[in-house]
Amino acid sequence: MPPEDAAKIAESKKTRLYGPTLFMRFRSKRIEAAGDPVLVYFPFWRAKGYHECFYFRGKTYDANVPEDVVAVQVGGRIRPLISEVKGRRSLLRRVTAWVRGVLLARPEPRHLTVDGATELAYQFTEASVLVDGEGRGDLSMEYLLEKKPQMQRLEEREALKKERTAVKFAPLTFAVEDVVRLLHGKVVKPPPVFNKILTNRFEVTELHLLELPVYVFRYRYLGREKELRIHGVTGESLK
């Protein structure tokens, strides 16, 4: 947002700093600017990444067999066939099952158990983080980025400060190593059950330092100074 547009918005909202709008409307001319406005850039980190791994885990399989199967050999040894174990049934159901067994001569279903099997499994997880310059999340920034606002590439901070004296940068205490560590803790999760991990890969696919512009205006009325912040993208007043 150009500075002149932000100044117009600030002038229309400055009376709210000192009381109800209707009460201050007649005294708005007595509210004076206390210094020149300053454009402050607030830093935000946005990072995305993924974690993938291949791993082995043990598994026991139960497989039903056809009625005419007598025995099954797996891994060079005979596997016993197990009849299906059914829960307790009412007298009527037991009589019905007995009649069906006599009339139809249908044997109970059987299955075999293969234990000690080894599975090769795959796990993939994606995640993203968005935090301010102190490592805190900000929902308003998330909503703003969802609208895909127009962005511009900033020059080096020190060069920008020299060219525009009314520009300041909020402190950036959350380093890039902290961002990667935060993303790693969010996306890298070991498999719940595994015998051996073959590959374990964590990769950062996006890492950007975003600067949110905010215009800061200071006003004075009856010896009291107050600050009004105007969002440099949406034009909203900020607390």
pLDDT at 103: 47
Looking at the fold, whether 195 and 145 belong to one and the same domain comes out as yes
102 and 161 assigned to the same domain: no
* Residue where a domain terminates, one of 69, 96, 120: 120
Cβ atoms within 10 Å, residue 134? 11
Write down which residue in 102, 120, 138 finishes a domain. 120
What is the rounded CA–CA span in Å between residue 211 and residue 133? Answer: 10
Whether residues 31 and 149 share a domain: the answer is yes
What pLDDT, on a 0 to 100 scale, did the predictor assign at position 152?
Answer: 83
Domain assignment of residue 109, given as a range = 56-120
189 & 213 share domain: yes
Structure confidence at residue 90 (pLDDT): 66
Task: Let me know whether 201 and 231 are in one domain.
Answer: yes
- Domain co-membership, 33 together with 20: yes
Q: Which of 100, 120, 140 is the last residue of a domain?
A: 120
Residue by residue, pLDDT tens for the chain (239 residues) are 888 899 999 988 888 887 765 455 556 667 888 888 999 999 999 999 999 999 999 988 888 888 888 888 887 788 878 876 555 556 676 666 655 555 454 556 788 788 878 899 999 999 999 999 999 998 989 999 988 888 888 766 555 555 555 888 999 999 999 999 999 999 999 999 999 999 999 999 999 999 999 999 999 888 889 999 999 999 988 86
The whole-number pLDDT of residue 159 equals: 55
Number of domains into which the chain is organized: 2
Same domain, 231 and 131: yes
Nearest residue to 108 (alpha-carbon basis) of 154, 61, 67: 67
Q: 178 by DSSP, 3-state: which?
A: helix
| Same structural domain, 60 and 154 | no
